[in-house]
Amino acid sequence: MAELRLPVDTFTLRLEEEARSEYLVYRVQQNCMRRFGFRHLPHLSKRYIAMTVKTRREYASRRYGISDHVIAAEHGYHLSDASTGNRAPQTVNSLSQQERTVLSGRTESGDKPDPVRGEPVPDGGCAGEANRTVQGDATSVAARKGDALVARLRREVFVRSRSDPRVTAVNKKWAACMREKGFTYRNPAAAVDDSRWDLESAAPTHEETTVAKADVTCKLRTNVLGVNFAVESDLQISAVAEHKDTLDSLREQRQEVSRRLPGLLRRYG
């Protein structure tokens, strides 16, 4: 499923581009904070890009429930270790007040700060400088509205697709396949939500991985994934047509970010 792009996804960066963009925002923040003498995001490295892509691919692969045989066999319905992370993030609360001021461009009282250590604080702080450097016009009010629209369409159309007759019909075929294997669930979501699975535990039980493997097998046998993708795509095409101007503008902004990424990676490492 991670290989497929729904219609609204054409108005966003690809997974690899999203990861590079996010990394570069952090890297520019880091360089900016260094100008003021602060050690910011000390563990940031280019490995961040590969790990972020891996995590986002795994989430994308689960849009219609687990869909990968390897993940099912190793992790059941649990997220993989890469997706849950193994390092606590550097939080804003761990920064000094002066560091927070430089990062945000605002004092504790919300005012624009005076120069710090003789260096003027950029508009919006180092966070603002980083966003402008990497995202350009994609940080504009219009772009933010476009992003919010894409998120809303993704959410609303997905919910609507759950009750589409084509989806409910293929779910019945999946449920019949699962019954043949000795498992009773009305649809794939019910298998994930089985109260027997402790998804907060360190590892899945053998029973969980057995069900998860059967789940993926039945999805492929009955084409649950293909039907879900086709139905959601069909519904999204109609939704996109209603907001053509806003989304076309957003696509142009995203394409500009995409063109800028290689040069920024060379510049910031």
SS (H, E, C) the chain: CCCCCCHHHHHCCCHHHHHHHHHHHHHHHHHHHHHCCCCCCCCCCCHHHHHHHHHHHHHHHCECECCCHHHHHHHCCCCCHHHHCCCCCCCHHHCCHHHHHHHHCCCCCCCCCCCECCECCCCCHHHHHHHHHHHHHHHCHHHHHHHHHHHHHHHHHHHHHHCCHHHHHHHHHHHHHHHHCCCCCCCHHHHHCCCCCCCCCCCCCHHHHHHHHHHHHHHHHHCHHHHHHHHHHHHHHHHHHCCHHHHHHHHHHHHHHHHHHHHHHHHHC
Give residue 144's pLDDT: 83
Cα dihedral sign, 95-97-102-103: positive
The 10 Å Cβ neighbour count of residue 203 is 12
- Compute the distance between CA of residue 222 and CA of residue 266 in angstroms, rounded to an integer: 46
Question: What integer pLDDT is reported at residue 167 of this predicted model?
Answer: 98
Which residues of the chain fall short of a pLDDT of 50? none
Give the per-residue pLDDT at 141.
Answer: 78
Question: CA-to-CA distance for 32 and 30, rounded, in angstroms?
Answer: 5
φ and ψ of 65, to 5 deg = 95, 175
Q: Which pLDDT score, from 0 to 100, does residue 140 have?
A: 72
Tokens of 262: 């290689």
Mean pLDDT value across the chain: 92
Residue 235: HSE in the Cβ half-sphere, 13 Å Cα cutoff:
20
Pick the closest to residue 67 from 235, 269, 215, 171 (CA basis). Answer: 215
CA 101, CA 121: separation in Å to the nearest integer? 9
Q: Which residue type is seen at 219?
A: K
The model carries a pTM of 0.84
Per-residue pLDDT at 89? 55
Question: How high is the pLDDT of residue 86?
Answer: 52
